[in-house]
Amino acid sequence: MSSTRWSVHLKREALINGVTNALANGGIAWLLFKDKAVIHAWQGASTFGVDLLATAAILSLILAAILQPLQRRALLKNTDLLIGARGNPKSLITWDRGHFPFRPWLNTFAYYPLTGLLAATLTLGVLSAFGVENFSALEYSLFKGAWTGVWAALLTRQIIKGCAAGMINEQRIEELDRS
């Protein structure tokens, strides 16, 4: 039962953050670029390359700064979720497993924004490979909304898993200290 609640928690949080960020960032992109006929990748005063890179880093930083303390508090308050996470170790597999030290403040200010920049760079590379050099304001707003929604959902799952994995490791250390 606990592992089902854990899975539902991950999905619900990812969905809420994904939809919220898709609507907010798509709307902001529309407001910023609605007067532009064409938004180029890298040329001119308004470029979607710089906008996407900046959005990726800032979105990742803000999401991590907000979610990490909230999720740690939620996991402490609702121990069933943590038990569910502990009972389903495969659900805790994250991108950063063993590659980055677990220090929430370091993840917030360094790792997650760098991961966002990498995701945006890969996205821009794929767009370039397919010959996408420019967007209309509406196209870019829809693209940016979809991209930030997917990125926020993926990152939300990683942040929550990272919090749970860190808390489980802290519990194991405490158990070892007691024995």
The pLDDT, as a whole number, for residue 27 is 97
The pTM assigned to this predicted structure is: 0.85
The pLDDT, as a whole number, for residue 99 is 52
The pLDDT, as a whole number, for residue 82 is 73
| Domains of the chain, residue spans | 2-178
Query: Which residues of the chain are under the pLDDT cut of 70?
Result: 1-2, 87-107, 169-179
Angle value at C-alpha 23, between 17 and 24, nearest 5 degrees: 85
The pLDDT, as a whole number, for residue 135 is 93
**Which letter, b or e, does each residue of 3-14 get, where b requires 16 or more Cβ atoms within 10 Å of its Cβ?**
beebeebbeebb
β partners of residue 134: 40
Which residue, 79, 68, 54, 67, is CA-closest to 148? 54
- Tokens 């979610």 — which residue? 67
Report how far residue 169's alpha carbon sits from residue 38's, in angstroms, rounded to the nearest whole number: 50
Report how far residue 9's alpha carbon sits from residue 45's, in angstroms, rounded to the nearest whole number: 42
The pLDDT, as a whole number, for residue 87 is 67
Q: Which positions ≥6 away from 74 have C-beta within 8 Å?
A: 81
